[in-house]
Each structure stands twice: as C-alpha cells, then as structure tokens.
C-alpha cells in the first residue's frame, strides 16, 4: 500500500479504484492510518467508523471484481458532519444532549453518498447544533486549524474542513446556514460550497434554521466539490423544500473559461479593523468595486413599518435583507426586534398578533409576492394587505433596479460570509 494515497484528489482516488489500480480497502486503510497519525493534534472527528468503513470498502472491491459500477465516488473515504444522521453511527451535533444518540436511518445525503460508492470514515466535529463559527463551541471537544494549531479552523463545519485539509478524508459534507461551510473552508485553505436552497435535501439533518440550512460539499479543489455536489443533489420526496429540477453535470460545467470575467465586490466590505494583509491582497486583485445602497432600502422599510404598526400596534416586526443594515438603530426604534443580513434578497416579515387570534402570520417577500394577514376590526376589508403591499412592491422595484445596475457592471458578484454563524 502506497504511503501517499491520502494525497490523491477525490477524482483521482475514485478513478484508480474503478480501474482496479488501487483497492478501495487500501484507500480506506490509508485514510484511517492518516487519521491515527494526525488526529490527536487536530480533533476533527468525534466518532470514527473503522470496522464498518473497511467492510464497505471490501464490498465495493467485490462489486468492481464482479464487473459492476460502484458509482462516481467509488471507495472514496468521506467525512460527514456530526449533525447529519448516519444509520448505526453516533450523531451528536456536538452536544452532550445527543452524546449517545445513534440514528436508525441515514439522512438523504448520507444515503446518496453510500449509493455513489463513498465510504463514510467518521463523523466530523462541529459547533453545538451548528451554532458557532470557530468549532470551539462543541461540547465534545475543540477542533484546531491544521495549518496553525493556535488558530481556529472556522465553523460550524470546522471538523469537516480540517479532515479534508489535513488529508484525513478526500471530501466531506458540512451544513451551512450563514457561512458554516464557506467560513471553515476559507480558514483551512480548501473549497466549500453552500448550494442554492432546495438543491440538496435536508431530510435527516439536525436543523439549526430550516429556512436557511443547506448541506454543502467540502473538498480540496473545485472539481472535487462538483463531483460531491452532483452525488448528493436532487429532489427528495422526504423534503418538501427540495427542488424537483434535474441535476446537471457540475463537473462538465467547469470548462475553465473564466478569463475576462469581471468580479464585483461591495465597497462596504472594506471596513475598519480588516487585517492589512487581507485588505491589500483583495485591493490588488482585478475587481470591480460597487456600492450597495443599504440605507436606501432601510428608508423604504421604515415607510412600511409604521403602516403595519398603525394598523396592528401589537405587531412584532422583523426585517431581513442585504439592503437593510444589520443592527440599524433606526429600525430597532421603529419596532424591529431582530435584523439579519442575507444575500441579494430583501424580505419584510411581521408576526401580527391581532385580538382574539392565535398569532396569525404575515409574510411578505419581494420574490414570491405572497402573504397572509388578518384585517383589523373597524377597517375596510383588505386595508392592511393593500397598504403593506404597496410598500413591499416599492421595495421590490428598488431592489430589482439595483440588481439590474450590478448585472450591467459585473459578471460575478461576491460577498463575505463571516458575520452570521451557522
């Protein structure tokens, strides 16, 4: 068995297994040997799966020997974040509450990994229930950055990122609510992707925020991430939010034609307190800086909020959106209890507690343009709905105008993802 099998890319490893140049069981033993050599200093895993992993790899070798196709991830050792259910293998979400929890079923993404031929070698550490951005908040141990043990690996999918960066696994699954795949991937020098909401099933994932959570792949390069995403993506009848759209070949889409693309970065992201090395490196890149008029949308939101409060004085309001500044004091003064930044969408969400009614819900969306709200007694039918709708439509029009302007000036827009743990 070669001593450097753990250095192979995910694609190379799978290809060698399918071509019988390397046995899947040797690949798995190499990964487990690597884990044994470096794990003490890293803390990437909470639970290892040695016996079952070897058995799965042997089964893949038998399938290949019988002339069967083992799948695109043939015999490749993969780490799975510990908030994703794995049948018969402890799943804790980094919490003592679930320290002895052993699921009776696989999450959809776990089942799809196995169907694609992957070998699950263990469960990766994470901030407790995904609530953190450093993987220091796991109740079962701290994970350290493989490049510098004095630094954090990012989170909450820090264990997944470290397992990949330290060559303990060829790829991994994490979950991302507000940056929990992308942040540790950046900290550990690998590639991580948060798929579009609904692209990957959430069935069997221990939720943090169900309207934002997504399972995402982590690997050593973009092509490996594409292979992993293709394996786990797709419709799932067990998850009503999973998209029915067909899954394309993400690997085939990597044609390398990026020369000449203009990358846009909001000027507002150059803030006080940035590390000088980071700021100088970013400014030296060939980027198109653009302005995001956050406060313009804040003013628009403020025009909607008073209408709601006049018509429903006991309403509790929440505003969501890239174009509303986080923790804006003027919004808090207008009755907003919580403000969360998102990407290129803006929503005004209000929980209107009308008399003698059990918290009817008002949801307005500039994308879907649909909501429900009770009318107040003494007002003509539809008054609340029509007044809020006018404000929302105005906000939607402004945001579309901003998007059109950006589309005309840049090919790709990029945003930071460090502010909201998930």
For tokens 């550490």, name the residue: 125
Does residue 353 register a pLDDT over 90? no
* Residue 247: band (very low, low, confident or very high) from pLDDT cuts 50, 70, 90: very high
Q: What are phi and psi of 55, to 5 degrees?
A: -65, -40
Give the whole-angstrom CA distance, residue 408 versus residue 210: 34
Determine which of 68-82, 292-306, 348-362 has the lowest per-residue pLDDT on average.
Answer: 348-362
Determine which of 91-95, 102-106, 195-199, 386-390 has the lowest per-residue pLDDT on average.
Answer: 386-390
Give pLDDT, residue 315. 40
* Residue 288: band (very low, low, confident or very high) from pLDDT cuts 50, 70, 90: confident
DSSP letter at 205? B
Q: What are phi and psi of 302, to 5 degrees?
A: -65, -25
Q: What is the dihedral of CA 208, 210, 213, 215, to 10 degrees?
A: 100
Give pLDDT, residue 413. 60
Q: What is the model's pTM?
A: 0.75
Q: What are phi and psi of 52, to 5 degrees?
A: -65, -35
Of 95, 138, 156, 201, which is the active-site residue? 156
DSSP labels, 108-161: HHHHHHHHTT-EEEEEE--SGGG--SSS---TT-----TT-TTS---SSSHHHH
Structure-token pair, residue 88 = 């018969």
180 belongs to the catalytic site: yes
Average pLDDT over residues 244-269: 84
Tell me the average pLDDT of the chain: 79
CB 238 within 8 A of CB 203: yes
Give the whole-angstrom CA distance, residue 167 versus residue 189: 12
Does residue 329 register a pLDDT over 70? no
Determine which of 246-255, 258-267, 284-293, 401-410 has the lowest per-residue pLDDT on average.
Answer: 401-410
Give pLDDT, residue 408. 67
Give pLDDT, residue 354. 30
Average pLDDT over residues 358-373: 32
Does residue 171 register a pLDDT over 90? yes
Give the whole-angstrom CA distance, residue 34 versus residue 160: 15
386 belongs to the catalytic site: no
CB 334 within 8 A of CB 346: no
List, for residues 191-213, the tens digit of each pLDDT value: 999 999 999 999 999 999 999 99
Structure-token pair, residue 107 = 């999450």
CB 102 within 8 A of CB 85: no
**Angle of helix 50-65 relative to helix 10-18, nearest 10 degrees?**
50
Of 95, 134, 180, 341, which is the active-site residue? 180
Give the whole-angstrom CA distance, residue 97 versus residue 138: 12
* Residue 127: band (very low, low, confident or very high) from pLDDT cuts 50, 70, 90: very high
Instruction: For the sheet with 412-413, list strands across it.
Output: 287-290, 263-266, 412-413
Average pLDDT over residues 373-401: 56
* Residue 409: band (very low, low, confident or very high) from pLDDT cuts 50, 70, 90: low
* Residue 417: band (very low, low, confident or very high) from pLDDT cuts 50, 70, 90: very low
What per-residue string of b and e applies to 74-97 under the rule 16 or more CB within 10 Å gives b?
bbbbbbbbbbbbbbebbbbbbbee
81 belongs to the catalytic site: yes
Higher-scoring residue by pLDDT: 407, 347: 407
Average pLDDT over residues 133-146: 97
List, for residues 38-79, the tens digit of each pLDDT value: 999 999 999 999 999 999 999 999 999 999 999 999 999 999
Average pLDDT over residues 112-132: 98
Give pLDDT, residue 291. 63
Query: Which one of 118-122, 304-308, 330-334 scores highest in mean pLDDT?
Result: 118-122
Give the whole-angstrom CA distance, residue 323 versus residue 345: 8
CB 84 within 8 A of CB 173: yes
Average pLDDT over residues 403-422: 54
Higher-scoring residue by pLDDT: 401, 36: 36
Average pLDDT over residues 231-239: 97
Does residue 95 register a pLDDT over 70? yes
354 Rama class: left (phi>0) / alpha (psi -120 to 50) / beta:
beta
Does residue 321 register a pLDDT over 70? no
Structure-token pair, residue 35 = 């884990």
Angle at 245 between CA 81 and CA 233, to 5 degrees: 20
Give pLDDT, residue 259. 76
Coil, helix or strand at residue 400: helix
Give pLDDT, residue 289. 72
CB 195 within 8 A of CB 216: yes
Structure-token pair, residue 411 = 């090919």
CB 292 within 8 A of CB 323: yes
Give the whole-angstrom CA distance, residue 216 versus residue 295: 32
Higher-scoring residue by pLDDT: 366, 160: 160
Give pLDDT, residue 327. 32
Give the whole-angstrom CA distance, residue 190 versus residue 160: 11
Residues whose CB is less than 8 angstroms from the CB of residue 238 and which lie 6 or more positions away in sequence, other chains included: 108, 201, 203
Does residue 261 register a pLDDT over 50? yes
Domains and CATH numbers, the chain: 5-232 (3.90.1300.10), 264-291 (no CATH), 294-408 (no CATH)
Q: What are phi and psi of 368, to 5 degrees?
A: -95, -25
Give the whole-angstrom CA distance, residue 184 versus residue 133: 8
Strand partners, 77: 119
Average pLDDT over residues 84-111: 98
Does residue 31 register a pLDDT over 90? yes
């Amino acid at each position: 068995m070669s001593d450097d099998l753990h250095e192979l890319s995910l694609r190379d490893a799978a290809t060698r297994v399918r071509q019988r140049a390397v046995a899947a069981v040797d690949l798995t033993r190499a990964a487990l040997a690597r884990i044994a050599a470096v794990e003490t200093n890293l803390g990437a895993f909470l639970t290892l799966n040695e016996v079952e992993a070897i058995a799965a790899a042997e089964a893949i070798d038998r399938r290949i020997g019988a002339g069967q196709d083992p799948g695109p991830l043939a015999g490749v050792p993969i780490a799975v974040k510990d908030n994703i259910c794995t049948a018969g293998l402890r799943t804790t979400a980094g919490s003592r509450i679930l320290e002895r929890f052993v699921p009776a079923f696989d999450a959809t993404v776990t089942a799809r990994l196995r169907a694609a031929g992957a070998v699950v070698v263990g469960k990766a550490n994470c901030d407790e229930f995904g609530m953190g951005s450093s993987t220091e908040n796991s109740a079962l141990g701290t994970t350290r950055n493989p490049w510098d043990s004095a630094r954090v690996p990012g989170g909450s999918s820090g264990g997944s990122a470290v397992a990949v960066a330290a060559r303990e696994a060829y790829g991994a699954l994490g979950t991302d609510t507000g940056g929990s795949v992308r942040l540790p991937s950046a900290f550990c020098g690998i590639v991580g992707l948060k798929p579009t909401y609904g692209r990957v099933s959430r069935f069997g994932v221990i939720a943090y925020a169900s309207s934002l959570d997504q399972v995402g792949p982590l690997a050593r390069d973009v092509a490996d991430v594409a292979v992993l995403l293709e394996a786990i993506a797709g419709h799932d009848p067990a998850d009503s939010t999973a998209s029915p759209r067909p899954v394309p070949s993400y690997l085939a889409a990597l044609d390398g034609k990026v020369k000449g693309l203009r990358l846009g970065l909001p000027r507002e992201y150059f803030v006080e307190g940035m590390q000088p090395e980071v700021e100088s490196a970013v400014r030296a890149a060939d980027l198109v800086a653009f302005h995001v008029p956050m406060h313009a949308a804040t003013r628009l939101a403020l025009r909607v909020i008073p209408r709601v409060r006049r018509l429903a004085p006991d309403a509790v309001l929440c505003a969501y959106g890239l174009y509303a500044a986080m923790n804006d004091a003027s919004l808090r003064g207008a009755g907003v209890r919580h403000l969360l930044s998102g990407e290129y969408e803006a929503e005004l969400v209000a929980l209107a507690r009308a008399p003698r009614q059990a918290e009817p819900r008002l949801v307005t969306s500039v994308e879907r343009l649909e909501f429900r709200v009770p009318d107040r007694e003494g007002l003509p039918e539809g008054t609340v709905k029509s007044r809020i709708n006018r404000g929302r439509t105005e906000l939607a029009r402004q945001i579309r105008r901003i998007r059109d302007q950006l589309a005309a000036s840049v090919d790709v827009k990029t945003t930071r993802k460090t502010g909201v743990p998930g």
